Amino acid sequence: MTVEFLPAPGTPVELIDTPAMIVDLDAAEANIRDMQQVVASGGSSMRPHTKTTKSPYWALKQIEAGAIGVCCAKVGEAEVLVEGGVNDILITSEIVSVSKINRLAALARHASIKVVVDNAENAREISEAAVSAQSEIGVLVDVNIRINRCGVEPGEPTTTLAKIVDKLPALHFAGLNGYEGHVFGFGDERIPETLEALEKLQHAVSEVNAAGLPIETVSAGGTSTHDITCKVPEVSEVQAGSYIFMDGQYVDQKLSFRPALTIMTQVISRPVPDRAILDVGLKSIANDYGPPRVMGLDGAEFTKLSEEHGTLSLTGSAQKLKHGDVVHLLPSHAGTTINIHDHYFCVRNGILEDVIEVAGRGKFR
């Protein structure tokens, strides 16, 4: 039997075994408050996406700060959230297989569950399952507004599907979902591309309204577009998720949120003055968006990530790094990094305050 020894609250952060996923609680809580304030001031509600955090702990913190509910990507994630006390969830990926649809319908007996659809037959299958389970499921028609992934086209295809959903038993047509995706750029540079996508969603809203169907919810937005999307009158809720921790791909955009999550790793070898080897590898930090960044150590550059090791190139004062020292790395992509860890080690002022399970880890079904 494998036993994992977790550190007790009060442990200095540098004494936590590595590699460890460290959260700066002050930074994460400030990010939650700041996003809530920005979105509310723009006239929208927050429905943060938990595909990043994969944890009821963080979802409940966001709801406590004012979010109306949360999003997730999978039925398995939704099940974990409901078990953890979250009772208003939008699943933003299409749910297709019979077993998943049955789980979705069963879950809707215990919480307010909404799901997106972009196919009439899929909507009928969800309806049949909900009837059988004696539950009701909210449905948002998924509209393709920019990234050419899922979603029907705005206009007639959206309106036709909305009419079908509205007539199906045990389904409640709730509105439209449109994700504009990650829009790169600084400040106002993001506005034209974001608004071009959202104009398609606005057109879809107008057409559905003209068909006589009431729309309660228009869900859109992400971390990179939150401050633009929240001001669009038709948008009722914003789905941003990565803002809570930030990562390498977002930090470059100089958004008004602080990096709050790092992977703490330890120097296990100093073979030559200009190289350090760390105990972090592909099994503990993701590199799908590029290598991690070294935090707070001038002259250190991350150069190689292998299965069990990471390599730093050292110049100047960074060459003082010693065998056994800890180094903090900012992942290029927080979501995929979080999914390979079991616990968050939540720290305030350098001291461990709590250890939180990543309860949704691996829940990709």
- Do residues 17 and 85 share a domain? no
- Do residues 267 and 196 share a domain? no
List pLDDT tens digits, range 77-132.
999 999 999 999 999 999 999 999 999 999 999 999 999 999 999 999 999 999 99
List pLDDT tens digits, range 206-255.
999 999 999 999 999 999 999 999 999 999 999 999 999 999 989 888 89
- Do residues 329 and 293 share a domain? yes
In a domain? residue 7: no
Domain boundary among 212, 245, 278: 245
Structural domain range at position 308: 13-22+256-357
- Do residues 141 and 278 share a domain? no
In a domain? residue 250: no
- Strand ranges of the sheet holding 171-178, from the earlier edge strand across to the other edge: 45-46, 237-238, 217-220, 171-178, 137-142, 112-117, 88-91, 70-72
- Do residues 269 and 229 share a domain? no
In a domain? residue 133: yes
- Contact (CB, 8 A) for 13 and 328: no
In a domain? residue 236: yes
- Do residues 167 and 46 share a domain? yes
- Do residues 131 and 62 share a domain? yes
- Do residues 36 and 86 share a domain? yes
Closest residue by Cα to residue 360 from 12, 29, 83, 102: 83
Query: Is the predicted pLDDT of residue 3 greater than 70, yes or no?
Result: no
- Do residues 267 and 238 share a domain? no
In a domain? residue 168: yes
Tell me the average pLDDT across 274-287: 98
> How far is Cα 353 from Cα 345, in angstroms, rounded to an integer?
8
Residue 248's region, left for phi above 0, alpha for psi from -120 to 50, else beta, is alpha
Q: Is the dihedral of CA 258, 263, 266, 272 positive or negative?
A: negative
- Do residues 239 and 262 share a domain? no
List pLDDT tens digits, range 29-61.
999 999 999 999 999 999 999 999 999 999 999
What pLDDT sits at residue 194? 96
Burial pattern 316-339, b for ≥16 Cβ within 10 A else e, equals eebeebeeeebbbbbbbbbbbbbb
What pLDDT sits at residue 5? 81
Domain boundary among 215, 245, 275: 245
Kindly tell me the burial class for residue 99, based on how many C-beta atoms sit within 10 Å of its own C-beta (0-12, 13-18, 19 or more).
exposed
In a domain? residue 59: yes
What pLDDT sits at residue 254? 86
In a domain? residue 365: no
List pLDDT tens digits, range 141-197.
999 999 999 999 999 999 999 999 999 999 999 999 999 989 988 899 999 999 999
Number of domains in the chain: 2
- Do residues 289 and 240 share a domain? no
What pLDDT sits at residue 1? 52
Q: For residue 70, what is the domain's CATH number?
A: 3.20.20.10
> How far is Cα 154 from Cα 115, in angstroms, rounded to an integer?
18
Q: For residue 18, what is the domain's CATH number?
A: 2.40.37.20
Residues 6+ apart with CB under 8 A from 89: 69, 70, 71, 72, 78, 81, 82, 111, 112, 113, 114
